Structure 1
């Protein structure tokens, strides 16, 4: 993109009062941002309100500094690019959605846009099992040839990205800030790794801070890029359900992992299943719905799945059986098994160190199953 083209795009998209719908109307009529400016204010009147026409007549506040910062960012690293509607490698799946972004900032491997994608989303505060499921399913999906798309949020999103990076097909993070900053800050290292090995995407200009309305809006890109959406854990009011709804409205497959009826983090997934989402217990449940996306029609099991049947001392195995998979208190476990408290605590500690049991808030424990 030439400097003049970049300036034309940024001025159109960053002018206050000119949203995506109005910008799309102008582009449809004139063909390009440069043609919009060359046509002159008189030709805008049939497409925009008088207030919008007045806004377009002058550059947005701070425009020169923003343009200079964007040019410097693009020049700083070959991974830094912009992608506009109409580019040859603009993802077809995203193009076919109701509200495709007109310009995307990219940091990382642009070629990942051409792969088959699956969204993996869920709670920002998942259970230990939910975090394991997100990581292990995403690694298996990546090994099966699917690029995992998520939103770089805490919890399930972060675990999904980390799992996908361990597979062969990598990951795409769609963020709600400018690409010159990583949010949340706890994911700074993860964001840098994704920029090196995967791809960061944003429709927001450099310098855009983490504003609350931007995160639900970016979910349409996560859903639009993907052939399907897997919800790992979600409460009934979770933002992940927005992504699942957008995926469904776009004609994508929706998948949900069920959980305990006693856990609020399972209620969102159960609601999706009641509405027609496919119940998922293993990776093959996903691949069966998307056979064309997996070269051999079957994913290879992850390392955790391969070792899940390793032998344990009989007493540990008995304790895991008594625990089930719902959160349980120490008192309830003692009543079920009859162990002295000290012996039970020692067994739980061994299983916790081995990764088979998670210690939850409120002095609860939960068995961690292989995803």
Structure 2
């Protein structure tokens, strides 16, 4: 592909990535059928397609590309041969990835290690142990560069093979959290940092559930080390399930609140692991895993209907729509506490949308379940 053609593809992918979910899915469908993304975008721009014009009023892809060249950031559009193959097969694959570091790691056999930000000493030690062994065995460790378990996983991988990928919920040039600035620069030098968000994009609560689909999508499997019962790490597990990935959970002390999420995953069918070698044995041959294999998903990780209804796989709504849904739940709970079914009925949402919104609100600490089983404001 010529440099001009690559520029056009990157520009088109950046514009399309700012569209809503239905538009992005249409782009992916058309491209999978052989359409050239840059030609599609050229046509839509010439026709003054409203959605495209709306994006271009507030987003300037040319500036993004210029900044990338100046800061040695690479761009991977979904049509680029360097785009991660496993990730390209998931639903709503990111149309563009901003990449800082060792770009070839995007094609490594990878494994995700995630867990609680406020992890225990036990959790941190286990995250380091598992990540180091998996790294030394040849797997690239993927995580989200958060404090706690993510941090431990990245650090252990850097001490091992040195191969680790951080997937951010902000711009690739934004260091978040600030406490991990040193880690950020080490990963940028030795590993790879990825984001689908534009330069300067601040970390927002609604970015992280979407980020998690990339984290699991890059990986052959996911290990949850420690997690609260409504932890964002469970979102990654839900999405890994949908993508046909192997899901593992590590048991912890029964009196620790950060054991509740992993124990719940184990009860519902995640594979309990006590040693990293168990993961290596389970993953043997998984490089040939078909991410579309529904039979494999059902065989390896069965969720009950109730738990599956809690899958937090965000159908990308606009920020305004998401805020309105959150606001509606908060307003209902300002009047009185309610049980789950009552709150669902008054919300007017579908069960899947309601489960997603409630999980997000609980993760953010805005709502909680009291001792009587009723929901109230956090």
**Would you call these one fold, judging by a TM-score over 0.5?**
yes
Contact 1:154 1:184 survives alignment (8 Å): yes
Distance 1:30 1:92 in 2: 17
> Match for residue 222 of structure 1?
215
SS in 2 for 1:60: helix
Give CA-to-partner distance per residue, 1:78-125, whole Å, 9 cap, x none. Answer: xx2111112223222112212211111100111112211110000010
Contact 2:10 2:96 survives alignment (8 Å): no
User: What is the root-mean-square deviation of aligned Cα atoms in Å?
Assistant: 2.4
Larger mean Cα displacement after TM superposition, 6-15 or 21-30: 21-30
- Structure 1 residues 42, 110: closer, same or farther in 2, change over 3 A? closer
Q: Name the TM-score, length of structure 2 as normaliser.
A: 0.69
Could you tell me how far 1:67 is from its partner in structure 2?
Answer: 2.2
| Alignment pair present for 1:233 and 2:243 | no
Alignment equivalent of 2:10, drawn from 6, 9, 18? 6
Higher Rg: 1
Could you tell me how far 1:274 is from its partner in structure 2?
Answer: 1.0
> Match for residue 286 of structure 1?
279
| Alignment pair present for 1:33 and 2:37 | yes
Could you tell me how far 1:23 is from its partner in structure 2?
Answer: 3.7
Could you tell me how far 1:69 is from its partner in structure 2?
Answer: 4.2
Give CA-to-partner distance per residue, 1:255-286, whole Å, 9 cap, x none. Answer: 11101111111111111111111111111111
After TM superposition, the structure 1 = structure 2 runs for residues 206-285 of structure 1, keeping only pairs within 5 Å, are 206-285=199-278
> Match for residue 368 of structure 2?
none
Contact 2:101 2:189 survives alignment (8 Å): yes
Distance 1:8 1:32 in 2: 10
| Alignment pair present for 1:72 and 2:67 | yes
- Structure 1 residues 131, 21: closer, same or farther in 2, change over 3 A? same
Unaligned runs of 5+ in 2: 288-378
- Structure 1 residues 262, 63: closer, same or farther in 2, change over 3 A? closer
Contact 2:127 2:149 survives alignment (8 Å): yes
Contact 2:10 2:77 survives alignment (8 Å): no
Contact 2:13 2:95 survives alignment (8 Å): no
Distance 2:126 2:221 in 1: 17
Distance 1:274 1:22 in 2: 38
- Structure 1 residues 57, 241: closer, same or farther in 2, change over 3 A? closer
Q: How many residues are matched?
A: 283
Give CA-to-partner distance per residue, 1:329-368, whole Å, 9 cap, x none. Answer: xxxxxxxxxxxxxxxxxxxxxxxxxxxxxxxxxxxxxxxx
Distance 2:21 2:249 in 1: 39
Could you tell me how far 1:19 is from its partner in structure 2?
Answer: 4.9
